[in-house]
Amino acid sequence: MPTKQLLIIGAGPYGLSVAAYAKHLGIDYAMSGSPMEFWRNQMPKGMLLRSGSTWQLDPLEIHTLHRYLESKGVALERVSPLPLDLFIDYASWFAEELGIKTLNSYVRNLEIIDGHFEAFVENGETLSADTVVTSPGVGMFRNLPAEITDKLPHGRYTHTSSTVNFEPLAGRRCLIIGGRQSAFEWAALMVEAGVAEVHLVYRHETPQFAPSDWMWVDPLLKQAKEVPGWFRNLPNSEKEAIERRFWGEGRLKLEPWLAARIVQDNIRLWPHTQIESCKVLADGTLHVRLSGGTIIDVDHVVLATGYHVDAQKVPYFSQTTILPQLKTAGGFPCLDESFQTSVPGLYITGFAATRDFGPFYGFISGCPSSAKIIGDHIRSRPSGRSKE
Residues 99 and 191 in one domain: no
- pLDDT tens digit string along 171-220? 999 999 999 999 999 999 999 999 999 999 999 999 999 988 888 888 98
In a domain, 329, yes or no: yes
> Is residue 58 located within the same domain as residue 154?
no
At residue 386, the pLDDT reads: 40
In a domain, 224, yes or no: no
- Let me know if residue 215 belongs to a domain: no
Q: Facing residues of 117 across strands?
A: 112, 129
Which pLDDT does position 381 carry in this prediction? 80
In a domain, 231, yes or no: no
Torsion, CA 39, CA 150, CA 188, CA 307, rounded to 10: -30
Give yes or no: residues 9 and 69 share one domain: yes
CATH of the domain at 176: 3.50.50.60
Confidence of residue 260 (pLDDT cuts 50, 70, 90): very high
| Residue range of the domain that includes 82 | 3-141+307-380
Cα–Cα distances (Å) from 186 to 84, 202, 245, 317, 340, in that order, read 14, 14, 24, 32, 36
Residues 48 and 106 in one domain: yes
- Mean pLDDT is highest, among 170-179, 238-247, 379-388, for 170-179
Q: Is 38 a domain residue?
A: yes
Number of structural domains in the chain: 2
| 166 lies in the same domain as 127 | no
Using 50, 70 and 90 to split pLDDT, how confident is the model at 159?
A: very high
Phi, psi of 74 (to 5 degrees): -115, 130
Same domain, 121 and 71: yes
Would 248 be classed as within a structural domain?
no
Answer yes or no: do 45 and 122 share one domain.
yes
CA dihedral 242, 244, 245, 248 (to 10 degrees): 160
